[in-house]
Chains A and B, each alone.
Chain A
Amino acid sequence: MTTTETRPAPATEPPPRPGWGNFVLGLARGLWRQLTSMRTALVLLFLLAVASIPGSVLPQSNVEIEKVQTFYREHPTLAPWVEKIDGFNVFGSPWFAAIYLLLFTSLIGCVVPRLRDHYRAIRSQPPKAPARLDRLPHHASVADFDGDVSAVAAALRKRRWRVVVRDDTVSAEKGYLKETGNLVFHCSLLAVLVAVALGSWYGWHGNRILVTGKDSGFCNSLQQYDESKLGPRVDEGKLPPFCVTLDDFEATFQTSGQPKQFRASVTVEGDGPTRSASFSVNDPLRLDGASLYLLGHGYAPILRYTDRFGKTQTKEGPFLSIDGMQTSTGAISFPDANVDPATGKRDANLQMGFDGIYMPTAPAQAPFLRSDFPAENNPGLLLTAYRGNLGLDAGIPSSVYRLDQTQIDAGRLKPVGEGKLLKPGESWTLDDGSTVQFVGTKKYIVLSVRHDPGQGIALIAAVFALGGLMGSLFGKRRRVFFRLASPSPTSSSRLLEAGGLPRTDYPGFAEEFASTVAAVREKT
């Protein structure tokens, strides 16, 4: 919506006077008029649509950061350029913001004068009847009308027209809802924008993997999340204090392997009294000040490694599923393995790392590469052992799901023997006499903890926008006029003329006009 173009431009433009002040003022006024014109608004609207397209074509870092990394690997020369023009963050980029801010400025520049006009229109009376009602698009006359103008006005008021009586004429108008709806719609869009801004300033979220068990629980602070984002106005110290432990995760599947149902059971502390709760996909856990969403699930194999000095360590590592049957890959590192108890020194070249493929239902025979079913019917872990320098001390952040490939390529981390398939409880003795045991698995869930104070406002605004939209699309502004002729000396009845004018596109007006005239005639 913008200023209707039918509105005439100010006719008396002051003659341009020399001087920079006037020039700047004139330029600003011209730009403002240009910006708030319908044509500009339409162009901006389309620019917004076109600008959104790269957001669906290019991977977006706030949606899937892994895909951005893949893009970097596949297009090493192109990727930095895409990065420079915010191609991986289209919807947070300055140029996208420029378009929608201009659009909303144009919107404000148009809504404000229209609000004023509409306020006046609602308070003012319907206009005077035209001199010749038979010139209007719809016209009717009642030859023998017995009543007076007040009877006409009463009949119209009953049909919810806004009526004004002037001498022998009645003017009535209806359909203010159209413009009201239009304004409500556009103001609500502004409110949605405000709600989105509120959400990004005062909202926060954190994602993490949560493994079952008492000692794997977490409390709500940023260090506890694998990935998190805090709005600029959120105080890190004031996040709602609660702690969550995952007691159990239940997944059921169809025989085809398609998931049927998921449910996570948790214990929540700090959010009121300690309590048990459960949540699921489509059914988040609502806490005070945050909600917990179940985004995914998987298995975390547990390895017990006994090094050459007989020291035993147990570790679990969440493996990431790579297909619908929960074939999962991951790695578990033992950087503190093989510390000589005599010297207490750690040999950086005797660290141990294992990577593996976990199959909840391993195939009956080789190759053991893909799981046959997502539930643990025949668990099998295909493990490869590596000894050497894990590269953890370099200070470069590395993935916990993968061993450092550069260390392996450089020969600093060497495979030990061939890969081996282990069933739960089975052990594998390596060449140096150390053993690794596949103890079993724990389940884990991928959890998103979020708070967005803007979303309620956005919803209310969107509902208002929808209501306003319907009013503006289906409302019809129209006017009817009635004029009672002067009484003739011979008869008590008088000639009543009626005219109707639809002010907006309204194909059914003829019927409404006819029935309105009939209702007025009935009245007497």
Chain B
Amino acid sequence: MAALSDALLVVAMLGYLVAMICYAAVYAFGERGVVAKVATRELVGAGGPPVVEVVEEVRKPAPRQSWADRIAGWVLMLAGVAQIGSLIFRGVAGHRLPWGNMYEYVLAATSVAAVAWIVVMVRRPTLRHLGLYVALTQVVLLGVAALLLYVPVGPLVPALDSYWLAIHVTAVAISSGVFLIGFVPAGLFLLRAGYDKGKHGFPFSLGEKLPAAAVLERLSFRLHAFAFPIWTFGALIAGPIWAESAWGRYWGWDPKEVWAFISWIVYAGYLHARATPSVKQTTATWIAVLGFLTMLMNLFGVNIFFTGLHSYGGL
């Protein structure tokens, strides 16, 4: 079972690589028309904040997808399925929830990201070409997990042997996965917005073939708004409840807690900034990108540089 899990991870990584290459081909050789043009109109309600309404252009009947495009989509989904399979068999092999150390945690969070992306891809096919960046992020994170964080399957240490593992870590992994998928359109929005402003040098040149800025911005916001309450629950409610029964205090400024708090504040800042008309959307989105950087810091930086109560991550 453990070997099957490891093999599926390799399949997933190869799949993401193939999908990445195919999408890159679509970007490089595909026609401009492949990426949907999106019209935006801005409506100002009486007294209310401006309401941006996005109208997607109705696609021409039966748009021809290039073979690379089609392969990329299917391979990306296949990779996602293999990745989830890898996670499931890891759990079967250990007879427990497969997020008991850092390797498994990265695997779980990126699996959530894979599911979140598949949902976005099915519901908004016009955005599917962003899969290039999703696949890139997945390959990098899975590569880091497989090369640096890998530990053989084992039972849980007593500190983790609690049903709160199922609640706290699951919620945190889900929200991290969705934040990860929210980070992709956030970063791309910044590229596209820069391109629209007339910056055509690298990396803004990538913005040319991206969906309209407003579409990216809205997708980014919705993913963040979805993930934020889950993060609040997982890191700031379920985490403290577990901490109280394990360590005697619900909040003790352990490095992991400090960074969870920082991420929460930064994402809260993003939601506030976005709701404030006088703050530019690019500024707000930069805050979301910063939020994701604090999440990465919490996952990798805190486990590597600091020791604390959360140090059973396997590093």
Interface residues of A (CB under 8 A from B): 1, 4-6, 38-39, 41-42, 45-46, 48-49, 52-53, 55-57, 60, 62-63, 90-91, 130, 137, 196, 205, 254, 256, 258-262, 280-284, 291, 293, 295, 448, 450, 452, 455, 458-459, 462-463, 465-466, 469-470, 473-474, 477, 501-507
Let me know if A63 and B252 touch, CB within 8 A. Answer: yes
Partner pick for B233 among A42, A56, A259, A466, CB 8 A cutoff: A466
Given contacts A6-B49, A284-B248, contact A45 B154 (CB under 8 A): no
4 further interface pairs, Cβ-Cβ under 8 Å (given A52-B258, A458-B240, A502-B45):
A45-B269, A49-B266, A137-B53, A282-B164
10 A-B pairs with least C-beta separation: A293-B248, A56-B258, A56-B255, A282-B162, A503-B48, A448-B248, A49-B265, A450-B248, A49-B262, A281-B158
Let me know if B157 and A259 touch, CB within 8 A. Answer: yes
Q: How far is the CA of A205 from the CA of B276 in the complex (A)?
A: 43
Q: How far is the CA of A124 from the CA of B149 in the complex (A)?
A: 59
Let me know if A1 and B218 touch, CB within 8 A. Answer: no
Let me know if B248 and A281 touch, CB within 8 A. Answer: no
Closest to B306 in A: A56
Of B81-89, B133-141, B204-212, B224-232, the one with at least 4 CB within 8 A of chain A = B224-232
Counting CB contacts under 8 A, is B46 at the interface? yes
- Chain A residues with Cβ below 8 Å from B48 are 477, 501-504
Q: List 9 A-B contacts (CB under 8 A).
A: A42-B276, A49-B269, A63-B308, A91-B253, A254-B154, A256-B154, A258-B154, A448-B248, A470-B229
- Chain A residues with Cβ below 8 Å from B164 are 282
Given contacts A137-B53, A504-B49, contact A258 B155 (CB under 8 A): yes
Interface residues of B (CB under 8 A from A): 43, 45-49, 51-54, 154-155, 157-159, 161-162, 164, 218, 225, 228-229, 232-233, 236-237, 240-242, 244-255, 258-259, 261-262, 265-266, 268-269, 271-273, 276-279, 294, 302, 306, 308
- Chain B residues with Cβ below 8 Å from A477 are 48
- Chain A residues with Cβ below 8 Å from B266 are 46, 49
Q: How far is the CA of A1 from the CA of B268 in the complex (A)?
A: 10
Let me know if B272 and A1 touch, CB within 8 A. Answer: yes
- Chain B residues with Cβ below 8 Å from A256 are 154
Smallest Cβ distance from B48 to chain A, in angstroms? 4
Q: How far is the CA of A258 from the CA of B154 in the complex (A)?
A: 9
- Chain B residues with Cβ below 8 Å from A280 are 158
Q: How far is the CA of A256 from the CA of B151 in the complex (A)?
A: 13
- Chain A residues with Cβ below 8 Å from B276 are 4-5, 38, 42
- Chain B residues with Cβ below 8 Å from A448 are 247-248
Let me know if B245 and A284 touch, CB within 8 A. Answer: yes
Given contacts A256-B154, A282-B246, A466-B232, contact A42 B252 (CB under 8 A): no
Given contacts A48-B265, A256-B154, contact A63 B232 (CB under 8 A): no
Q: How far is the CA of A261 from the CA of B54 in the complex (A)?
A: 56
Closest to B246 in A: A282
- Chain B residues with Cβ below 8 Å from A57 are 306
Let me know if B46 and A501 touch, CB within 8 A. Answer: yes
Given contacts A55-B253, A501-B45, A501-B48, contact A5 B277 (CB under 8 A): yes
- Chain A residues with Cβ below 8 Å from B262 are 49, 52-53
Given contacts A254-B155, A262-B158, contact A205 B248 (CB under 8 A): yes
Q: How far is the CA of A261 from the CA of B258 in the complex (A)?
A: 29
Given contacts A53-B262, A459-B241, A503-B48, contact A282 B277 (CB under 8 A): no
Given contacts A45-B268, A455-B250, contact A6 B277 (CB under 8 A): yes
Given contacts A45-B269, A60-B253, A466-B233, contact A137 B277 (CB under 8 A): no
Let me know if B161 and A261 touch, CB within 8 A. Answer: yes
Let me know if B259 and A56 touch, CB within 8 A. Answer: yes
Let me know if B248 and A502 touch, CB within 8 A. Answer: no
Let me know if B250 and A473 touch, CB within 8 A. Answer: no
Let me know if B158 and A293 touch, CB within 8 A. Answer: no
Given contacts A5-B277, A254-B155, A462-B237, contact A56 B248 (CB under 8 A): no
- Chain A residues with Cβ below 8 Å from B154 are 254, 256, 258
